[in-house]
Structure 1
Amino acid sequence: MTFNLTGMLSGWLEWTSILAAGFGAGMINVIVGSGTLISFPVLLLFGYPPVVANVSNTLGLVPGGLAGTVGYRRELRANRHLARLLLPASTAGGIAGASLLFLLPPEAFELIVPALIAAGIAMVLLGPLVQRSAARRAADRPAPTRPPLWKTIVTLAGVFLLGVYGGYFGAAQGILIVGLLSLLTVETIQSLNGVKNLLVMAVNLVAAITFLVISPASVDWIVVALIAIGSALGGLVGARVGRRLPAPVLRGAIAVIGTVAIIYLLAS
């Protein structure tokens, strides 16, 4: 009886921890990004193989992304032209990245992830300066009807590459998307957060479908269910909190959480 009770308590502790990790990941993903760095290590801590943990985590985070996208629907409606432009590039990248997970060794991205996150933080913080400089230059010329072709191409290429990264691993993908768009568009950070939530959700969704097609045996459905419930609740809370944050506070939160993510990755 003691052995069974101990096993039951251990099982409940594991399930509760995974559920809580899903909640934290869903909330952080919607507000900032990098929620994967909460849920993925928890799965590794409980002994799940890296590929199973990655695949199951990606599947479980889809409802959280959907909840965050719905929560930011007002910002998305205001920027539907940008979302429509970037969504195909992001989803194509997600499919490519998910396929690479089964072709490349798990260590393939380990060395560059901290550098990518640092670049994302820098872009987020420099975004307002770049936007103000562009606004000053544009004040002396007629307003263009559309952005320059080169900027559109760079934006699409960047979002595609971030989709590849997101489909493969995805840690702090949201930070990188907000950083890139901060430099290449004139939208506010809250508007970009809404677009980011849609793109990250789309990458997770197509990556999850790709995983199911290529390697359905890599899915642990109990883990998926727990993270899905937690991330959906976390996404709803994250949308309510994130939309109320002033732009400087949101940028500061991105910088702080991104820095913590870099320290974690370098120390692990």
Structure 2
Amino acid sequence: MNTVVSEGIVNLYNEMNDLVNKSGMYLNLEDDNGCLYFNVWNTHTWGEYTLYYFPVKFVEELNPTLRRIVITFYHDFMKENGITTINDEADMDWAIDMLTEGCYEDEDAKERRAREKLVKSYKDGRAYKLLDRVWRKSYYKNLPKAIEEYECKNGFEQGLIELLRRGLEFIKTEKAIMYYGYDPFYDEEPDYLPMTLEQQIRVVYDSDDIMTEHLIDFYNSSRQESYDIIPASTFAVSPKTDKVFTLEDTYPERFFKWADDFIHYIR
């Protein structure tokens, strides 16, 4: 049901919008079950990657103890932040169909076997099972202790452990990265759906294989008629409001800074 907006409300909105815009912020007039309210919002700074695809293939090369630590970290990190894997998602089904039914007339027998092996891996094989494992498995109840007590064997492990240690702030946090998935252009009956944070921040098997390339192609194709959700903080304004809205919360900026370093290190 559409809420009727009076001329007075529109005039008040225009006056407030001018004031808010001068402060470098934005204002929406929104409806909460028939009650109108003003919502001040501003976006946070995205990181260096267009899509935050966290790969897990590298854990296959780790020793059993470190592998369990990393899998536990991934599991807790995903659960706390509302992040999922690509398993059983609609765009994943599309990517598999592309690799199964696409035109590959120029490939030789070796290339065909490699493609079929990759499809099998993502459907129910190695890739699918590892992604399912990080989603379901947690080996340590006290992950910080496990990280601190691990004895690194080489420089790579030292760097990885330090990144895991830094990443602990994004586990057991009061807010999740998906908490900031505010859509300032929300429409009850949109012509197209926005590209959500869940589609932009995910866990993949391998960030560089052809399956992930197809997922990226799907994303780029979909966004041509849509727009990206960028993490934003909001502030509802009412007659009882007694403070000024600021972007003091830097969780998204800290999240992306760490994610930039982590993904760059493990790729």
Indicate the TM-score class for this superposition, using the shorter chain for normalisation.
under 0.3
**More strand, by proportion:** 2
Larger Rg: 2
Structure of higher RCO (CA pairs closer than 8 Å, 6+ residues apart) = 1
